[in-house]
Structure 1
Amino acid sequence: MTALLDVACHLPEERVSIEDVGARMGADPQLIWTFRRLYGLRSVRRAPGEDHRSLLAAAVAGLTALRGNENRIRYVVLARTLGPATPAGRYPVEELCAGLGLTNAVGFTLSQHACAAGLVAMDLAGRLLTADGDPDALALVLTGEKIVSAVAEAIPESTVMGEGTAAVLVGPDGERDRLLGTATRTLGRYAEQVPPRPLDPDFVKEHNEVLADVIRRACAAAGVTVDDLALILPHNVNRLSWTWAARLLGIPADRVYTDNIPVTGHCFGADPFINHVHARAAGRLRPGDLYLMASVGLGATFSAAVLRH
């Protein structure tokens, strides 16, 4: 059974207010008011002068369980939200593997799921390890982005983007953070709604209902119910969206871990894993707790996974 052997994250030190992000975007002040007052967003973390590889490597440095086990890494999966932006002749995943000393790893990029790519990659890594049948093999999932263009600064209808990253060490078995069930659904009719295009009004209407349905499906796959969950670790889009999702699921809003939304913003596919690190540190996850990670990627992919801590 797939297990998360270690989860780490990196948040850049520089805090940028949403007002400053809005000024760079030339955003209407009313939009910034909506972000702050309705969506609960205050600031994001950015790393000027650092490239994508260094941000990912900083997250990997926090994986204490990786030290001494580098030779066991069979796969390195880079879960991308944004399309590749690499000069010809450069192979960032291979370069990252070499820099980390992962000489036995096969590295590749997973895309086309936008901000749901991190959860999809976690499930894929476990499936690959299980199919290989080597109980000692491990996989490394990397996610989070460097904002390289103005269109990636924010999604005007929902959130502001940050540059936090996450690294997840996946094993074919383990005593804690065992993956019990997953569900993923793609609504291909929204495939073209990528910024700078505005979100389709129908997607906005459907979003919370579909998200709640995918969460219920993941719970059913795990043989549990939503009421059994101690905590939901969400994507950090905005508090209003998750307030409505919690209402649809029939659970208290405080069962969704939204503490990071005001201080990190939406860190692409890294959000659930960043929340995992912080929820553990805050004592919100206890041994034996059932919890669920959930994320939505524009395009539109909805993904959820149930685990036992």
Structure 2
Amino acid sequence: MKNLIFILLLINMQCVAQNSNNMKDNINVTFSGGQEKNIINGIIPAILTIKNNTNKEIFVLLFYPNPNDISFDCQQPFVEKKNRGWNLSEENIPIKIQSGETYKNVYFLGRYFKFLKDGKFDIIYDLELSAGTGNTQSESISYKGNFPIQISSGSNEELKKQLSYYSENLKSDNRKIKEESAEALSFVENPLCVDYITPMLSIENLESKGIDALSKFNTPQNQKLISKMLSHRESDVVSKAIEALHKMKVEIPRKEFISMLASENTDIVFLGLENLEKNPNKNDMGLVKPVLNSLNDTVAEKAKGYYDLLEKMK
């Protein structure tokens, strides 16, 4: 009996492996360069193409712009590798690809590399693709390969033309185009990009990405732009602005945190209390007292903790 169970398990494992191989053999993955001229420290696209060679509709998961399930490498000199980061809150929905059809995503190598001189570079990719059909459980399939990218010197006018194209696309009603454009602009290593990134601060769901991108260029202008985001209605944007200003070594005026205590967003009130508490001032007692009655238990508890601390300072 034990031998029979072992044989059945072995057959099942072989079937799973065979199905996995069949799926990989019938889903073609390629990468290629995305434009005629890739300017050093500019926008350098790489196009991922997935072709469904099966006779069924398939579903794939591609978290975009996602550093988790795809990585790039380059072993040549004059390439500075960046920390690609890790997305802890990735979300997506399955992408349908009909039999015989293709799906494309554009990735931007500025997230992964800084090229230090012009020339031809061999880019190595490693992709974990979750794929399946409507009748089968999705499985993770590994694809590895390489593709060439030519990097060239370019004029400021050429770079501005590229930046302008992607900045205009930030206004697109197509979510995919908008996300790709934000990703393209966010990793440009040239301060010329600032004027083209700034519109992201007023586009819903792109504000935090815009703050991150601007904070890489620590100038009075960018400090001022990011400081204005402290009055944003969304707590994650306010939190990102605080984080960026700290990274830029900018001292945030105390009045900014005090104004957060009057916000209708309890998460922003919490941020205000949290940051005031880092540099307690007994003059805050009158400002904190109304927050003690907050209907949000977490905020009320935070306010009480800070208020008790201030009482001890009398």
With structure 2 as the length reference, what TM-score do the two structures score?
A: 0.29
**Larger Rg belongs to:** 2
Report which of the two has the higher share of helix.
2
Q: Which has the higher contact order (CA 8 A, sep 6+)?
A: 1
With structure 1 as the length reference, what TM-score do the two structures score?
A: 0.29
